[in-house]
Amino acid sequence: MAPLAASHLTRRFDSRVAVDDVSFELAPGEIFALLGPNGAGKTTTLRMLAGLIRPSSGSVRVDGRIGFLTEAPGLWDRLTVERNLLVYARLHGLSDPARAVDEALELFDIGDRKRDRAAQLSKGLKQRVALARSLIHRPDIVLLDEPTSGLDPESARDVRELILRLRGERRAVLISTHNLDEVQRMADRVAVLRARLIALDTPAALRSRLFGSRLLVTVHGDAERFAALLARDRGDVRHNGRSLSVGVDNVEAAAPGVIRTLVQAGADIVSVVPEEAPLEDVYLRLLEQEER
């Protein structure tokens, strides 16, 4: 059974529909990314999943404990890192709160800062403490609202590594984010939200659905003369300097034939790789389609 399932979730604020009939399930060990423009209903969805606000209709089924990282770290600035965590360990009713805090400090590598007040921490460290706080009760489901927002690249990488570690521990992770690069690196599945769910699939399937499968071939010298040759058989061929982009039904099946044709035509092939449209293009295309 999926640890978390949203079924026809809808939330209205007066006449405005913030979230409209959203359904999905999270699997254990899965990183599920929720994408969408500002005001698309991502935070509202997360709040409904975390039980902070009620859906106007629809339901959430939860099997396990939830850890929720809010958009802002929300640490008590005048309290030490250790005290911040200890309060939450007690609020969650853990049997040995002090031990849970020690473990969290060690796991998140913040033990050396435990006596510092939260106000003294950098933004990256605050986020790390906030993440430790949301995981202190060892939740099975982790909801992360913009976990790397505003962080420097090094801190963002640290947070990403922590998230990947959660996947390794078979926890179900849902990330709401604007960071497409992050999604590309980590997400097993992507949902694009604009009040309602526009798309939900793996990044590869979304790419394939919107842009088709393509092979990217790099040759020595100008690729233009080979483009015309390939176009006779393949139809959809674009060239750019030394590169040829060839539209195919199946990358693995088509690659040997494309290579053979080019070699026979005298091309010196440097590389042949599947061409992946950036997730940004996928995302923007989905939003454009939705607007039409």
Residues that bind other proteins (CB under 8 A): 13, 44, 47, 50-54, 66, 68, 70, 72, 74-79, 83, 87-88, 90-93, 117, 130, 133-134
Q: How far is the CB of 50 from other proteins (least distance, A)?
A: 5
Q: How far is the CB of 268 from other proteins (least distance, A)?
A: 59
DSSP string, 139-151: -SEEEEESTTTT-
Q: How far is the CB of 146 from other proteins (least distance, A)?
A: 13
Q: Which CB atom, from 31 or from 66, has the smaller least distance to other proteins?
A: 66
Q: Which CB atom, from 89 or from 237, has the smaller least distance to other proteins?
A: 89
| Spatial distance between the Cα atoms of 198 and 209, rounded to a whole number of angstroms | 13
Instruction: For helices 81-91 and 97-107, give the axis angle rounded to 10 degrees.
Output: 130
- 260: three-class secondary structure by DSSP: helix
Q: How far is the CB of 272 from other proteins (least distance, A)?
A: 49
Q: How far is the CB of 100 from other proteins (least distance, A)?
A: 13
Q: E strand or H helix at 110, and its extent?
A: none
CA-closest candidate to residue 78, choices 128, 122, 117: 117
Tokens of 80: 């030490």
Q: Which CB atom, from 117 or from 185, has the smaller least distance to other proteins?
A: 117
CA-closest candidate to residue 184, choices 40, 42, 283, 274: 283
Q: How far is the CB of 213 from other proteins (least distance, A)?
A: 42
Q: E strand or H helix at 55, and its extent?
A: none
| Spatial distance between the Cα atoms of 265 and 186, rounded to a whole number of angstroms | 40
| Spatial distance between the Cα atoms of 100 and 137, rounded to a whole number of angstroms | 8
Q: How far is the CB of 133 from other proteins (least distance, A)?
A: 7
Q: Which CB atom, from 66 or from 282, has the smaller least distance to other proteins?
A: 66
Q: Which CB atom, from 44 or from 177, has the smaller least distance to other proteins?
A: 44
Q: Which CB atom, from 8 or from 54, has the smaller least distance to other proteins?
A: 54
Strands, sheet with 4-13, edge to edge from the N-terminal-most edge strand:
16-26, 4-13, 57-62
Q: Which CB atom, from 74 or from 278, has the smaller least distance to other proteins?
A: 74
CA dihedral 15, 18, 21, 24 (to 10 degrees): -170
